């Protein structure tokens, strides 16, 4: 079985939870995006949570995410609803 590079990276580098799921999920998605440049950042509007998609799988600090709602590409959200995007970014930078 082929090793999952994203899971391996998360396990090796982020053993300690720094509110990566509840408060810093945007920052964690950015870290994963930086490490895996072909990944895409998504937003889960019901959960209010940022994740990435890489090679057909969604990830956050917990590892693989089972998505139970329709995720929105962050880049698409920015184009479609700039005000919503700006509010999300404002809240992430608080």
The three-state (H, E, C) secondary structure of 35-46, written as one string: HCCCCEEEEECC
Residue 24 token pair: 């810093």
The confidence band for 3, taking pLDDT boundaries of 50, 70 and 90, is confident
Model pLDDT for residues 40-87, shown as the tens digit of each residue: 999 999 999 999 999 999 999 999 999 999 999 999 999 999 999 999
Give the 3-state secondary structure of residue 44: strand
Q: What is the mean pLDDT of residues 30-35?
A: 97
Q: How many domains does the chain have?
A: 1
- Provide the pLDDT for residue 1: 64
Domain that holds residue 32: 5-92
CA nearest neighbour of 89 among 27, 35, 31, 37? 27
Total-model pTM: 0.93
Report the C-alpha gap between 24 and 93 in whole angstroms: 10
Q: Please tell me the predicted confidence (pLDDT) of residue 14.
A: 93
Distance CA 29, CA 83 (A): 21
d(CA 77, CA 55) in angstroms, rounded, equals 21
């Amino acid at each position: 079985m082929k090793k999952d590079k994203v899971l391996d990276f998360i396990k090796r580098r982020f053993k300690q939870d720094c509110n990566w799921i509840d408060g810093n999920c945007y920052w964690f998605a950015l870290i994963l995006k930086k490490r895996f440049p072909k990944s895409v950042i998504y937003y889960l509007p019901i959960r209010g949570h940022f994740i990435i998609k890489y090679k057909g799988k969604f990830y956050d600090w917990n590892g693989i995410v089972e998505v139970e709602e329709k995720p929105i590409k962050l880049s698409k959200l920015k184009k479609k609803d700039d005000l919503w995007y700006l509010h999300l970014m404002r809240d992430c930078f608080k």
